[in-house]
A and B are shown apart, each in its own frame.
Chain A
């Protein structure tokens, strides 16, 4: 029920893309990049996604495509790239051998930290700071994964085909917000609230969002008791939720 190409897009933009938010939210991640020369990693997947991660002044930014970069990691297929995320494939740079230290030390530390937040141990979640960062990162990862599935997965594309143009506000009350922007049935996630949403779905708290992400509560029951608020063009939210059902399959 999942396909390698869609998973590659999720791994690139939703997982690696969350490094942006990790560096913004976590001081340990920022510390790894502070007082170091800016460096960029271009990742290019044959018949799949291509993006560049730039680390500069304690921040991380992802841009589409292979810009001039310091390190280039080519992958011959989506499966190979997904294998790197699973830890079964070791990437070999085609450019940037003099920067290999960053790749082997700092970048691995960053991705390990990200994994700790995205696949947390129950005891880590007892710490409020960790809980909030972990839940925020999950939120951004899921938000971006929605767009990748809507644009690439065959069933996800069917759902996107039934969405009208406009911006959906996806948010956690007093927490992170994102825009799922729809145009001509293509989806784009922007990690901030839209100016004028055409539809919205809001989780009432970080705890509720966490419980939903962990499958501990049922979203339909939450709509019933008001802990998930919806409004506007509900057909947009309805179809987004069908894509959201697929997110769990890909991120499992």
Chain B
């Protein structure tokens, strides 16, 4: 769906109903909206400029409860990969709903979906389904520990692998030092440090877990240096360390065969979730044959993990992504968008740094070292109906059009002008 508004129409929205709903929410829900979709973790600065609750969504857009329309570059933080309410995926889900969903024995759809995953993901010999990304990272760690009978896990600094206690940090609320006692940390792209860490913990390391590139928050995103992953792969193989790729965020946006395939190596275990079924709730851990027995031995399941609707949606989603060759489309659209945004910034005297992969671009205004200017610009964008964030990578979806990109760049120009006017001291 192309943008319909002209520049003239891009005005500051009001969020009266959103705020009324939020007042009701805080009475009955801890912090009103918890987690990454809420104002605190979502860094709505200031919160009055942001929509708290959505009413409906279509393609690249959502409408909030006040009727404000947003061109959405967060894509529900990833799940919207084909466009909200994609007709093909929804039709498959609805058709499955009329047959069976949550049943005492699983639907054969699970087998079909597993076969499709194994055929699609280059490193996969098997597929294990759950609901959220965290379910798969947790499964991967348990599988690696069970297979190796070792305790320690290597993480890359700036990581995010979910919400289980082992994925959190010692200073997080509710986490004990014992929960993270076996966590080791190394910087991304730092092979000498990784070699040293492995040598210092020889024979104790179960797994190395990392995202395919460093797409952590608050920082310019960092892609792997030439040969990085191949050296990691070699080290892990030599030392009997299970190599886990957390592809929950980037999975299927870089390469339908997996982001490990994109960067030219093979993971032992690879975790998928966000782009798997266009918003229908399913996640998947894929693995190598030598880990299949360990995975079979885990006591690990969930009430809704074998529901058939998301399997049907996932099959339809993957087939459509293949048909559209979405990774190439995302790279093209992401490159056009970020090139346009950089130009709009430059025209107004801003240094907009774009990092990461174009399909999941990360933005930062570098005129100051504090992000105040950047947060002001993000607020101006959101106030004009372009939903972006100041701390997190963004997402391209397949329904985004070149008109949408053109419109985004026009609004960005307006937003840069507004920030420049408000901060003459910075120029």
Instruction: Give Cα distance in the complex from A155 to B26, angstroms.
Output: 30
Q: Chain A residues with Cβ under 8 A from B45's Cβ?
A: 229-231
Considering the chains assembled together, what is the distance between the CA atoms of A66 and B349 in angstroms? Answer: 52
Per-residue CB contact flags for chain A residues 190-215 toward chain B (1 = under 8 Å, else 0) read 00000001110000000000000000
Query: CB-CB contacts of A150-164 with B at 8 A, as 1s and 0s?
Result: 000001101100000
Do A224 and B375 touch (CB < 8 A)?
A: no
**Given the complex of chains A and B, what is the CA–CA distance between A230 and B218 in angstroms?**
14
Q: Which one of B30-38, B138-146, B318-326 contacts A? A: B30-38
Residues A233 and B170 in contact, CB atoms below 8 Å apart: no
Name the residue of chain B whose CB is nearest to the CB of A218.
B31
Asked if B43 and A234 make an inter-chain contact with CB atoms under 8 angstroms apart, the answer reads yes
The binding surface of chain A is classed by DSSP as: helix
A226 interface residue (CB < 8 Å to B) = yes
| Chain B contacts for A229, CB-based, 8 A | 45-46
Mask, B391-420, CB within 8 Å of A = 1, is 100000000000000000000000000000
Given A155-B170, A220-B31, A233-B370, is A225 in contact with B47 using a C-beta cutoff of 8 Å? yes
Residue from A199, A218, A224 in contact with B370 in the complex, judged by beta carbons closer than 8 Å? A199
Q: Are B171 and A224 in contact (CB under 8 A)?
A: no
A-chain residues with CB within 8 Å of residue B371 when the two chains form the complex: 231-234
**Which of A159, A223, A235, A245 has the largest count of B CB atoms less than 10 A from its CB?**
A223
B391 touches A234 (CB 8 A): yes
Closest B residue to A160 by beta carbon equals: B171
Q: How many residues of A contact B (CB 8 A)?
A: 26
A226 to B22, CA, bound (A): 12
**In chain A, what residue has the closest Cβ to B48?**
A226
Q: Can you list, as one digit per residue, whether each of B373-398 has a CB less than 8 Å from chain A (1) or not (0)? A: 00100000000000000110000000
- With A158-B169, A229-B46: A224-B218 Cβ-Cβ less than 8 Å: no
Known A231-B372, A232-B371; contact A221-B46, beta-carbon cutoff 8 A? no
Q: Is the CB of A233 within 8 A of B218?
A: yes
Closest Cβ of chain B: how far from A214's Cβ, in Å?
18
Query: Does A185 reach chain B (CB closer than 8 Å)?
Result: no
B375 to chain A: which residues have CB within 8 Å? 231-232
B427 interface residue (CB < 8 Å to A): no
Q: Are B369 and A166 in contact (CB under 8 A)?
A: yes
Point out the residues of chain A lying under 8 angstroms from B19, CB to CB: 225
Contact flags B39-53 to A (C-beta < 8 A → 1, else 0): 110010111100000
Q: Are A232 and B31 in contact (CB under 8 A)?
A: no
| Chain A, range 161-202, C-beta contacts under 8 Å to B | 166, 197-199
A95 within 8 A of partner (CB): no
Q: Tell me if A242 is interfacial: C-beta within 8 Å of chain B.
A: yes
Cβ-defined contact, B30 with A218, below 8 A: yes
Measured CB to CB, the residues of B under 8 A from A are 19, 22-23, 26, 30-34, 38-40, 43, 45-48, 169-173, 177, 217-218, 369-372, 375, 390-391
**A-B contact sample (4 more), CB < 8 A, given A218-B31, A245-B171:** A221-B31, A231-B371, A234-B391, A242-B172
